[in-house]
């Protein structure tokens, strides 16, 4: 059947395992970076010891904070390299979110308590820090770091990895650093970002002398932008008032493109040349906020295949064709209507038999390809399998591929299109491939906010500007809805989706609030997700086009964005008084003023862009063998 060469799968490890007898001398730049990096690892190690002694010997939270600050400074010197060379350890042990985590490797379900520096920060900046708990977390860090450090000391990295580290570092500062992702509970985000940028700057400077003379301007811009960025961060270190819009537009976004140009101008290979595997980020895209920033091929799980227009066109017809459902009335477009950014305007989508609903709210399909897992409960790995859940679900399409294939075969147009697209008659795999190709084409990253961040000569309304800065700052939205997807796809590598426990009630207007009983990710059937802290946990969906996708939340209980902002402002479910110890939002009030709440809504409304992707087919293919089907409605009835 699939007579494919399996060599891509086989033997890919041999390279890793080859014994390395003697390494060639590193380039002078790598040698220099390495010297500084080893020094930085030592300094961080020393600061861990100092911090440990401070916690052990002194019960004074003020002294703890001072010592913790020095620990963070030491980490930020090495973070851009360390987190690139060893992302797993960076997340698992040093600087992951202060939440329980699941062991990704062992066969059984193992849940770890929060650990690392963010867990420590949550304690020392919380009320009445528990010295014993703090000591335990610090001891763990101190015990684990020598091994992590030993690996790094032996790591043989290349110029490619150094330049990537800077570039991903810029993305990390933009999407996580200045939004306070890793500085829970204290006002250190901007100052720490400045330290990190300084470290990147000094390494980038090593490379500028090697630029051919014709790239003089590029070298100058890189120098100026680093200088400007550092000055801006150091002079405006207050978290709430920091102007992130300006910082990104003026410095971070331009630098992101310039480091890439530096990389290419030096003739250093990119990651794509070193591996057979597709990468999540399109390295050669200069912008962090464009439709080409992320690689749709990577997420759709079909390698680097570029689909022909005929495949997308066929997928579009299938998407709008109610023949895909058992009763020939329901199409994908029934619940995913283009004019509503591919949602249906209902709290929960109507079930096929119009009795009751399908259980959850229909999410937008625009930019939906950029995800590692699908459905609100993250049960499906890929778009292809997501579609199958709909096809087989009794409340949705209630059919099988075989029924669908039989129906498509009644139409010569469909038969011809499958032949032209795939050289085959209609079949399950290609139906799925065509639908995926169409959904994958629903990408739009050209909202006014994107254009502005990319430096286009346009203006944004003052409310939108203020809203962006609140979103990325005081309102803490962007610590879960990460740029540039405004979803839980974690930057800067974009290979993992987060879910969050926010505590949406069944009915927000009830006198006695009750949590919506849907357990979300906990019940998705994946043994490793059946962990207590994942009860009521749902995928963090994108906010792009959110003005068009109401009502909101997995159960659609909020009609307007203002209601949603109000919900978060009050501290989510726990803030409203629900007993929800595993909530991943801060429980306390965000203290947003009425004006600030309005600005947030204005900003979210400016995330709208559906240009060129909401067209509906003029006509569905005729079924010569079943003329009675020819009157079927484009997009189905509802």
Partner 1 sequence: MKKFTITLIALVLLSNALFAQFSFDPSVPANYEPVTVVLPPSPLKYQVLFVGGVDQVKTTATYGNAAGTYPAKQWHDFIGITPDPSNPSEFWVSVNHEMQQKDDHIGDGGGMTAFKVRRDANTDTLVVINQTLNDGRTGKFFNVDFANTVGETGMNCAGITGPDGRIWTAEEWGVANNTAAISFLRDTANFTINAPEFPTMNGQTIKKFQNLNWMVEIDPKQAKAIRKQYNWGRQQFEGGAIANDNKTVYLGEDATPGIFTKFVADVAGDFTKGKTYVYAHTKSPKWIEIDNTNLSKMLSFNANAIAVGATVFNRLEWVAVDRLSGKVYIAETGRDNLGNSSSWKNAIAAGAPAAQHHTERATAFGTTPVSANYVDYYGRVLEYDPATENVTVHIEGGPDFTTANVPAAQYPSKHLSNPDGLNFITIGGKSFMIINEDMNGNTYGRMPDSKPIICELWLLDMAIQNPTVNDLIRISASPAGAEVTGAIASPDNKSMLINVQHPATTNPGVYANSLTYVITGWNNLLTSTNEPTFGDNDPFKVWPNPVARELNFNEVTDAAIFDMNGKMVRVFRNTQTADVSGLTPGTYIVKNQKGDVVKLIVQ
Window 514-533: residues binding partner 1 (CB under 8 A): 522-525, 527, 530
Task: Please list, in sequence order, all residues whose beta carbon lies within 8 angstroms of the beta carbon of residue 626, skipping any fewer than 6 positions away.
Answer: 407, 410
What character string, x for contact with partner 1 (CB under 8 A) and - otherwise, covers 319-358? Answer: ----------------------------------------
What is the nearest approach in angstroms of partner 1 to the Cβ of residue 216?
A: 16
Tell which positions 148-187 bind partner 1, by CB under 8 A. 148, 150-151, 154-156, 158-160
Rounded Cα gap, residues 173 and 179, in angstroms: 8
C-alpha 78/C-alpha 45 separation (Å) is 11
Q: What is the closest distance, in whole angstroms, from the C-beta atom of residue 212 to partner 1 in the complex? A: 11
**CB-nearer residue toward partner 1: 325 or 549:** 325
Least Cβ distance, residue 424 to partner 1 (angstroms): 14
Rg over CA atoms, the chain: 26
The answer to whether 428 contacts partner 1 (rule: CB under 8 A) is: yes
Select from 206, 282, 346, 634 the one that contacts partner 1 (CB under 8 A). Answer: 206
Residue owning tokens 């001891």? 139
Tokens of 166: 């800077």
Q: Which of 429, 560, 593, 637 binds partner 1 (CB under 8 A)?
A: 429
Q: Sign of dihedral through CA atoms 571, 573, 577, 583?
A: negative
Binding residue (CB under 8 A) for partner 1 from 61, 286, 301, 345: 301
SS3 291: coil
17 binds partner 1 (CB under 8 A): yes
Q: Minimum Å distance from CB 10 to partner 1?
A: 5
Q: Which among 88, 94, 85, 91 has a CA at the least distance from the CA of 155?
A: 85
Query: Does the protein bind partner 1 through residue 597 (CB under 8 A)?
Result: no
Q: Which is nearer to partner 1, 195 or 260 (CB)?
A: 195
Task: Select from 114, 111, 153 the least CA-distant residue to 136.
Answer: 114
**How near is the Cβ of 316 to partner 1 at its closest, in Å?**
22
Residues within window 29-58 making contact with partner 1, judged by CB under 8 A: 29, 31-32, 35-36, 39-40, 43
Among 189, 302, 318, 444, interactor with partner 1 by CB under 8 A: 302
Which residues lie closer than 8 Å to 358 by C-beta, 6 or more apart? 335, 348, 349, 350, 351, 393, 395, 396
Our finding on whether 217 is near partner 1 (CB under 8 A) is no
- Least Å distance, CB 142 to partner 1, is 15
**Site track for partner 1 across 264-293, x = CB under 8 A:** --xxxx---xx-xxx-x-------------
Cβ atoms of 243 and 232 closer than 8 Å: no
- Of residues 463 through 502, those in contact with partner 1 by CB under 8 A are 495
CB 156 to partner 1: min, Å = 6
For partner 1, the binding residue among 45, 50, 73, 463 (CB under 8 A) is: 73
Residue 12 vs 59, nearer CB to partner 1: 12
Residue 500, φ and ψ in degrees, nearest 5: -135, 150
Cβ closest to partner 1, residue 395 vs residue 563: 395
CA distance 588 to 95: 23
CA distance 174 to 170: 6
Q: Which of 45, 136, 202, 451 binds partner 1 (CB under 8 A)?
A: 202
Please list every residue from 129 through 148 that binds partner 1, using CB under 8 A.
147-148
Q: Which CB sits closer to partner 1, 277 or 354?
A: 277
Residue 16 is a binding residue for partner 1 (CB under 8 A) = yes
* SS3 assignment, position 137: helix
Task: Name the token pair of 368.
Answer: 């939906």
Nearest-angstrom CA–CA distance, 352 and 393:
9
Contact 40, 103 (CB under 8 A): no
User: What is the number of other CB atoms lying within 10 angstroms of the CB of residue 327?
Assistant: 13
In whole angstroms, the minimum distance from the beta carbon of 54 to partner 1 comes to 20
Question: What are the CA-CA distances from residue 27 to residues 19, 24, 84, 160, 209 (Å)?
Answer: 21, 9, 19, 11, 14
Q: Does 394 bind partner 1 (CB under 8 A)?
A: yes
- Asked whether the beta carbons of 300 and 383 are under 8 A apart, the reply is yes
Residue 372 lies near partner 1 (rule: CB under 8 A): yes
């Amino acid at each position: 059947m699939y007579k494919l060469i399996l060599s891509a799968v086989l033997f890919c490890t041999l390279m890793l395992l080859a014994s390395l007898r003697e390494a060639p001398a590193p380039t002078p730049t790598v040698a220099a970076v390495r010297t500084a990096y080893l020094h930085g690892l030592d300094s961080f190690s020393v600061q861990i010891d100092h911090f440990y002694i401070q916690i052990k010997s002194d019960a004074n939270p003020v002294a703890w904070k001072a010592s913790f600050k020095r620990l963070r400074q030491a980490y930020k010197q090495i973070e851009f390299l360390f987190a690139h060379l060893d992302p797993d350890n960076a997340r698992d042990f040093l600087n992951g979110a202060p939440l329980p985590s699941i062991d990704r490797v062992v066969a059984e379900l193992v849940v770890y308590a929060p650990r690392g520096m963010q867990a420590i920060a949550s304690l020392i900046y919380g009320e009445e820090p528990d010295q014993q708990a703090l000591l335990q977390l610090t001891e763990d860090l101190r015990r684990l770091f020598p091994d992590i450090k030993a690996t790094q000391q032996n790591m043989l990295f290349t110029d490619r990895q150094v330049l990537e580290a800077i570039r991903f570092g810029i993305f990390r500062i933009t999407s996580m650093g200045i939004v306070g992702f890793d500085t829970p509970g204290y006002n250190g985000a901007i100052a720490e970002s400045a330290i990190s940028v300084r470290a990147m700057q000094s390494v980038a400077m090593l490379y500028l002398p090697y630029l051919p003379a014709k790239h003089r301007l590029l070298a100058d811009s890189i120098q100026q932008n680093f200088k400007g960025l550092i000055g801006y961060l150091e002079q405006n270190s207050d978290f709430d008032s920091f102007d992130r819009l300006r910082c990104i537009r003026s410095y971070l976004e331009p630098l992101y493109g310039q480091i890439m140009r530096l990389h290419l101008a030096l003739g250093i290979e990119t990651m794509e040349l070193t591996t057979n595997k597709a990468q999540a980020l399109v390295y050669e895209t200069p912008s962090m906020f464009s439709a080409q920033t992320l690689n749709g091929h990577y997420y759709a799980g079909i390698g680097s295949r570029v689909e022909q227009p005929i495949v997308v066109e066929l997928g579009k017809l299938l998407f709008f064709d109610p023949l895909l459902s058992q009763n020939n009335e329901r199409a994908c477009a029934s619940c995913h209507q283009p004019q509503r950014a591919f949602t249906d305007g209902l709290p929960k989508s109507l079930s096929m038999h119009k009795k009751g609903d399908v259980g959850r709210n229909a999410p937008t399909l625009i930019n939906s390809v950029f995800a590692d897992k699908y459905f609100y409960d993250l049960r499906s790995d890929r778009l292809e399998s997501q579609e199958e859940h709909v096809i087989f679900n009794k409340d949705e399409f209630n059919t099988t591929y075989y029924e669908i294939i039989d129906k498509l075969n009644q139409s010569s147009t469909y038969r011809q299109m499958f032949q032209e697209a795939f050289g085959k008659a209609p079949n399950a795999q290609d139906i799925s491939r065509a639908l995926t190709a169409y959904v994958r084409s629903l990408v739009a990253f050209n909202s006014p906010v994107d254009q502005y961040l990319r430096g286009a000569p346009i203006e944004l309304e003052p409310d939108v500007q203020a809203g962006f800065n609140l979103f990325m700052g005081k309102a803490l939205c962007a610590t879960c809805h990460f740029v540039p997807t405004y979803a839980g796809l974690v930057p800067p590598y974009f290979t993992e989706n987060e879910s969050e426990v926010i505590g949406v009630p069944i009915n927000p207007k009830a006198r006695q609030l009750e949590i919506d009983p849907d357990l979300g990710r906990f019940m998705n059937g994946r043994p490793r997700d059946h962990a207590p802290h994942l009860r009521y946990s749902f995928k963090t969906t994108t906010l792009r086009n959110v003005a068009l996708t109401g009502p909101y939340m997995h159960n659609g209980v909020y009609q307007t964005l203002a209601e949603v902002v109000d919900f978060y402002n009050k501290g989510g479910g726990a803030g409203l008084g629900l007993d929800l110890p595993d909530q991943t939002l801060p429980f306390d009030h965000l203290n947003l003023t009425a004006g600030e709440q309005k600005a947030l809504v204005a900003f979210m409304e400016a995330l709208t862009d559906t240009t060129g992707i909401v067209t509906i087919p003029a006509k569905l293919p005729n079924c010569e063998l079943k003329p009675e089907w020819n009157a079927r409605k484009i997009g189905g009835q509802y």
